[in-house]
Amino acid sequence: MSPEAALQELIRAVAREAAQEGARAQAHAQAAAAPAEPSVDGRSSLPDDRAWSVAEVAYYLNYSKSLVRKLELEGRLPALPRISRRLTFDPLVVKAFRAGTLRALPLRTTPRRR
């Protein structure tokens, strides 16, 4: 192989490698821009077929767990009936609360005692 042909082959190899690197960078940028999994209101989707724990509600609402407990204690975020001491929430109620369409009347006039 002549030196000119070897040089041309080297230039083509470098161009192919640069094109592949550019395609990888573009694919990486597209993957970073798109959510990794389906989301609702920017938060990762949680299952609607079961009750949500305090931690899941806090994650969905982007609140702290203590604020979720306080909202339940004040009657502003209704919880499901307790099983033992476990506090759970209906996902549809939480979504309505986040959307601002929750029109629940407080069940008690004074906060529940701990």
As a whole number of angstroms, the distance between CA 102 and CA 114 comes to: 25
- Which pLDDT band holds residue 52 (cuts at 50, 70, 90)? very high
DSSP class of 2: -
The percent of residues above 90 in pLDDT, for the chain, comes to 30
Domain layout of the chain by residue ranges: 3-34, 40-99
56, 80, 106, 65 alpha-carbon torsion, rounded to 10°? -20
pLDDT at 34: 47
CA proximity to 107, closest of 86, 89, 87, 80: 80
Task: Give 83-92 pLDDT, tens digit per residue.
Answer: 888 999 999 9
Tokens of 51: 């009750």
Higher pLDDT, 105 or 47: 47
pLDDT at 47: 81
pLDDT at 24: 66
CB 43 within 8 A of CB 60: yes
100 has a pLDDT exceeding 80 = yes
Task: Give 8-49 pLDDT, tens digit per residue.
Answer: 888 888 777 777 676 666 665 655 554 444 444 555 578 888
Overall average pLDDT of the 49-66 stretch = 93
**Residue range 40-99, CATH number:** 1.10.1660
- Which pLDDT band holds residue 104 (cuts at 50, 70, 90)? low
